[in-house]
Amino acid sequence: QVQLVESGGGLVQPGGSLRLSCAASGSIFSTYARGWYRQAPGRQRELVGVISSGGITRYTNSVKGRFTNSRHNARNPVYLQRNSLKPEDTAVYYCNALRTFYSSSPVVDWGQGTQVTVSS
């Protein structure tokens, strides 16, 4: 059974940076993409960035130019570098596996997520 563990969240001032990590335990297909989602209070969970097993990335418009996905290999872990953070980036951030690079549907059970709070 795959378990996803997100880490790296915290409190940061507007304009600051954080790097989130996503590690998976258990077997997971090395060809799967990995997606980063976030859920702000009172809002639906949204997909903000995807990285393929080969390192290709895509992002939602609101984070383009500020967030960067990276990974060392096709398995573990994946990172989300977030720069120029804004208060509206405040949310719980989750990662999940995606069957294809263009999919938005998660494959495995959600982890606990990591809280990011952007505030002065």
Burial grade of 2 (CB within 10 A; 0-12, 13-18, 19 or more): middle
pLDDT number for residue 25: 75
Q: Give me the sheet containing 33-39, strands edge to edge.
A: 10-12, 114-118, 91-98, 33-39, 46-51, 57-59
Per-residue pLDDT band for 74 (boundaries 50, 70, 90) equals: low
Q: d(Cα 118, Cα 114) in Å, to the nearest integer? A: 13
Beta bridge partners of 19: 81
Reported as a single tens digit per residue, the pLDDT across 6-33 is 999 999 999 999 999 998 876 676 778 9
Render pLDDT for 45-68 as a digit per residue (tens, 0 to 9): 999 999 998 889 999 999 999 999
